[in-house]
Amino acid sequence: MTPLNEPVKLPCGLVFPNRLVKAAMAEALAGSGHVPTPTLLEAYNQWAQGGWGGLLTGNVQVDVDHLGMPHDPALHGEYTGKENNQALVELWSQYANACQQHGTPSIVQLCHPGRQSIRFAGRRGIFGATIAPSAVPMDLGEGIVQRFFSWLVFPPSKEMTQGDIERVTRQFVDAARLMADSGFSGVELHGAHGYLLDQFLNPKTNKRTDAYGGSAENRAKFVVDIIHSIRKVVPEKFAVGIKLNSADHSSSTFEDTMTQIQLLVDAGIDFLEVSGGSYENPKMMGREQSERTVAREAFFIEFATEARKRFPGLVLMLTGGFRTRAGAESAIKQNACDIIGIGRPAAIDPKLPRVLLDENVSEEEAQLVLNKIPMPFLAGLIPMKGVGAGLESKYYADQIKRFAMGLKTILPSAW
């Protein structure tokens, strides 16, 4: 039997029936109301029938004033419990039911973009400042054009006060409590891809001199406090995981990262998803990987392998680049991870596990290899980091919308 068919049990008791989990992707289907829409629910209805061991939703933003993208779902205000918010719970319960109606455990990815909230996303207004651990500008390039586009897309951020930190902590806790009350199986904190939690963890963006900055332990305090606070208000069997960056941690900060993982483990996380990249360093999009790494599919396998050595009891999910049964099996067999996260292939074929897990399907057929999308000519003229990565994300979001509307998805054509 392929090891991909083996179940995975999290410390909280939640069981994934197999090792293939649909990874989080931007769906762009929440509309201007930033709520679960019928099209979003249908997308997850399709994934729910796909034989996945688990589903990870795309970003659910904890503050409607600060969105990563204009059509992200988000919390609109304080959540004070099921009794006082029955209509809200009913709305999100429809989302949970769409995901889990066929028995697939589903985890909501909770996010705050921090300084990566684009100017035209969210209800703070186009001139409203973003918030961040420190007022470090976005760096999309050194030239005049890049700096102008950076200012145009990302407004200047302001350093968070203690009050801001306490408010955002409550927002994460409120969101987790709402997801638990709505019937989801757990939440994953988005601590990667340059979003707010990653900004606190990373010394490149955290220049604070108070209890939240300086040492690796201090930089992790914001995240650890959120985890502890969530644990106090959700059921014991409700999973709490985190997605962590690996791609932009240099050798000089590697031990700091391992220290922070230890703190997360001590705080009681159920799983750690290894990913990487940001708008400033878009490796999460797979456009800048070495041939050696791409050849064996898993973009961040070196980091995951070292984390496994340090934390043998930690459930690890590895996401980024898996396209074949053989590649996924290899990562499991070499003990680099417990769970395989699959993103873009799931946007093309929502029922991909039915192929990968079927041992009657040959190795040659048990795959979905994707070409990079062709760059439009004008986009190639924009000398700014992340343009290609953003176009690829939009392409796959469009494919999610297509299959949710009953249309055939389109494989990216070769260059």
- What is the pTM assigned to this prediction? 0.92
Q: Is the pLDDT of residue 213 over 80?
A: yes
Residue range 16-65, pLDDT digits in tens: 999 999 999 999 999 999 999 999 999 999 999 999 999 999 999 999 99
- At 145, the amino acid letter reads V
Q: How confident is the model at residue 147 (pLDDT cuts 50, 70, 90)?
A: confident
CA angle 75, 28, 60 (to 5 degrees): 25
Domains and CATH numbers, the chain: 3-404 (3.20.20.70)
The larger pLDDT score, comparing residue 84 to residue 392, is at 84
Low-confidence winner among 258-267, 283-292, 404-413 (lowest mean pLDDT): 283-292
- pLDDT at site 385: 55
Stretch 279-288: mean pLDDT: 49
Mean residue pLDDT across the chain: 90
Residue range 149-175, pLDDT digits in tens: 777 888 999 999 999 999 999 999 999
Q: Is the pLDDT of residue 290 over 60?
A: no
Helix (H, G, I), strand (E, B) or coil at 88: helix
- At 38, the amino acid letter reads P
Low-confidence winner among 85-89, 338-342, 369-373, 385-389 (lowest mean pLDDT): 385-389
Residue range 243-272, pLDDT digits in tens: 998 755 556 688 999 999 999 999 999 999
CA–CA distance, 151 with 58 (Å, rounded to integer): 26
Asked whether the beta carbons of 43 and 27 are under 8 A apart, the reply is yes
CA–CA distance, 161 with 166 (Å, rounded to integer): 9
The total number of residues shown for the chain amounts to 415
The larger pLDDT score, comparing residue 315 to residue 291, is at 315
Residue 243's closest CA among 383, 79, 107?
107
Helix (H, G, I), strand (E, B) or coil at 94: helix
- pLDDT at site 289: 42
CA–CA distance, 408 with 285 (Å, rounded to integer): 23
Name 102's Cβ contacts closer than 8 Å, sequence gap at least 6.
48, 49
51, with CB counted inside 10 A (0-12, 13-18, 19+), is buried
Q: How confident is the model at residue 280 (pLDDT cuts 50, 70, 90)?
A: low
CA–CA distance, 19 with 2 (Å, rounded to integer): 10
- pLDDT at site 250: 57
**Which alpha helices (DSSP H) does 160-237 contain, by range?**
162-182, 196-201, 216-231
Q: Is the pLDDT of residue 324 over 70?
A: yes
Q: Identify the H or E element spanning 265.
A: helix 254-267
The larger pLDDT score, comparing residue 295 to residue 183, is at 183
Query: What distance, in Å, lies between the first and last C-alpha atoms of the chain?
Result: 37
Asked whether the beta carbons of 104 and 46 are under 8 A apart, the reply is no
Residue range 54-95, pLDDT digits in tens: 999 999 999 999 999 999 999 999 999 999 999 999 999 999
- pLDDT at site 415: 46
The larger pLDDT score, comparing residue 390 to residue 258, is at 258
Q: How confident is the model at residue 375 (pLDDT cuts 50, 70, 90)?
A: low
- pLDDT at site 392: 86
- pLDDT at site 287: 42
- pLDDT at site 413: 77
